Structure 1
């Protein structure tokens, strides 16, 4: 069946096509007198014919698409979905829809997705993760997009002076130090780290405080207690088995995110070890399931939903005032003590 057009609606309502366009887009602004009865006939004709305005054509006419793009780094980590939930909540509350793309922890794919999204008719773009810092191509795309006036907001754990994108900033440095201090105060001296990242520069806001906290109390850094692995839960599981099989295994483990902490919890159980009686465990991100594990996971939280909402607020403010100074909003993280840490048993 042929898709109905504005001309079809105009014939059914007995008006001109221009009148149909004014009614749909609300562009008359009082300059074109359209009676309530005429508006009602147009909307009735639209309903009867099943007419749907073409979003692309409408965006061209109005100069906006009411769409915000979002690039998230990993579809498998619930933490990033919580960020996306906040973005979607705030976008919907302001009459915008979300166009989402995942880079799947692949910098090359992230570059391609970035270039594709900025080439579309989106009103703003939100970037999650730090792939922009790892890719010269992505940085160039970012700079060009900012120069042509596209509002771009980063949700990040670092801020740079190289370009002027607005930023919602939250990092784990202070909280990671507090987590290490908590374990050290409990009496732990052999503390392992599951460092599961897609590339070596990620999660430094956990690695650096881990090392500095040990050094601050005179505990030598044992590189064998730092297990580098990939970011998946399976890779975290294998890393935890490797760490817990050591003859002088750690009495506590810090995993750089809750997904990897869950892998540690499973590995410990498979080896007949109890958390926290035999090994204490701390994660990061406070994903929803963290409070429902056995034991409930001690972790750190950034309030991922709030980060997403703040990012959209910055993007919409930039749309309203393109010349405003660069904005950086900091959202503090916090340590949440639950049931997965205790003094060492020996």
Structure 2
């Protein structure tokens, strides 16, 4: 059987000391020793060429970590009708975890009374991971408070309000994205708007509604909130532009308007505030914005490593991208 390569072997082939190899492998920058870029590159090239893998037990003893990152999901993510919504988040999480040399552990079994998923249950295994990424539109407030109180390293995908302390999160910047849509519609002559959707519950919904309210106030136009509105309510209110919190609701509104003989966007414009979380008609090309889901997944893992290494509380909102579509006119 071939002899397993050691750090001494790598050091000899790269022409450096074993201590230098150790610093490069562990990406250490706090040792007070500066490693020249060309030296680091030479060591990494030898590692790449030989296929060397550091002894995982030795690595764990060195940095007191398992190099396992958890992903806790409050909702089923695959396979399900929501899979298309969550898949980009998971791809981003997996990509950066691989780059960071960490394994992923998906937590799905913890359940409280009533079948609802909870992080802290009688058989909670959350501490098997060095830290955890939370994924789900709505996060249990008691779970958040306990995570903050006990100092468990975690990052939430999606902005979260304080829970007895600041919550580390990577979210989408919905407020300016919604304001941008309203401003575009006003520039095209719209003066009466409706926000279609709950606008409450998850912070992401509240942020969308807040963006809508800020925009109509700033533009000096009319805005009405219709939590459970339909086409009849929209038309009765004299609305010419609807912002739908849920993509399927916006698509259904477009189809209902066309069945009634209305032109979209000629008679009614409909804008979607994100991506579909449940099945939606695919033949409606809605104008709206793109949630940077893959980027949020990647950045969440980056932020979690910052929490683990520096004890920081990262809070960042990533910009959404305008999608032209064909339902604004």
Stretches of structure 2 lacking an aligned partner (at least 5 in a row):
9-59
Question: Would you say the 8 A contact 1:110–1:131 is kept in 2?
Answer: no
**Contact persistence 2:167–2:313 (CA under 8 A):** yes
CA distance in 2, matches of 1:338, 1:253: 14
Contact 1:91 1:98 in 2 (8 A): no
For 2:155 and 2:191, the matched residues in 1 are separated by 41
**Residue 228 (structure 1) aligns with:** 227
Whether 2:225 is the aligned partner of 1:254: answer no
Secondary structure of 1:274's counterpart equals coil
Match of 2:294 among 302, 305, 308: 305
Distance 2:274 2:7 in 1: 48
Q: After superposition, what is the alpha-carbon deviation per residue over 1:253-307, rounded to whole angstroms, capped at 9, x for unaligned?
A: 10114343233333334434332122111112256999x9545221112311000
Give the counterpart of 2:90 among 77, 84, 87.
Answer: 84
Change (3 A) 1:289 1:74: closer
DSSP 3-state at the match of 1:243: helix
Partner of 1:336: 323
Partner Cα distance (1:184, 1:127) in 2: 37
- Bigger fraction of residues in helix: 1
Q: Structure 1: give runs of 5+ residues left out of the alignment.
A: 1-12, 14-22, 31-58, 230-238
Q: 1:100 to 1:112 in 2, by over 3 A?
A: closer
CA–CA separation in structure 2 for the residues paired with 1:90 and 1:259: 31
Q: Give the corresponding residue for 1:273.
A: 262
**Equivalent residue for 1:151?**
153
Q: 1:55 maps to which residue?
A: none
Tell me if 1:243 matches 2:237.
no
- Equivalent in the alignment of 2:106: 99
Contact preservation (8 Å) 2:172, 2:292: no
Q: 1:117 to 1:228 in 2, by over 3 A?
A: farther
Q: Deviations over 1:306-342 (max 9, x none)?
A: 00011112223433x2x44322333222322232100
Describe the superposition over 1:236-260 as per-residue Cα deviations: whole angstroms up to 9, x where unpaired: xxx434534x445422210114343
What corresponds to 1:20 in structure 2? none
Looking at structure 2, the residues matched to 162 and 153 of structure 1 have their Cα atoms a distance apart, in angstroms, of: 15
Number of positions where the alignment pairs a residue of Structure 1 with one of Structure 2: 268
Asked if the contact 1:265–1:275 (Cα under 8 Å) also holds between the matched residues in 2, the reply is yes
Q: Give me the whole-angstrom Cα distance separating, in 2, the residues matched to 1:154 and 1:145.
A: 16
Offset at residue 111 of structure 1 (A): 5.8
Task: Assess, with a 3 A threshold, how the Cα gap between structure 1 residues 334 and 114 changes in structure 2: closer, same or farther.
Answer: farther
Correspondence for 1:139? 144
Q: Over residues 107-131 of structure 1, what are the superposed CA-to-partner deviations in whole Å (9 max), with x where a residue is unaligned?
A: 9765624546554522321123564
How far does the alpha carbon of each residue in 1:3-52 deviate from its partner, in whole angstroms, 9 at most, with x for none?
xxxxxxxxxx9xxxxxxxxx8xx9x988xxxxxxxxxxxxxxxxxxxxxx
TM-score, length basis structure 1:
0.63
Give the direction of change, closer, same or farther, for the CA distance of 1:317–1:163 in structure 2 (3 Å limit).
same
- Aligned mates of 2:113, 2:240 — CA distance in 1: 36
Q: Is the 8 A contact 2:68 2:131 kept in 1?
A: no
2:325 & 2:69 partners in 1: Cα distance? 40
Cross-structure match for 1:187: 189
Larger radius of gyration: 1
Of 111, 118, 121, the residue aligned with 2:128 is 121
Deviation, structure 1 residue 168: 1.4
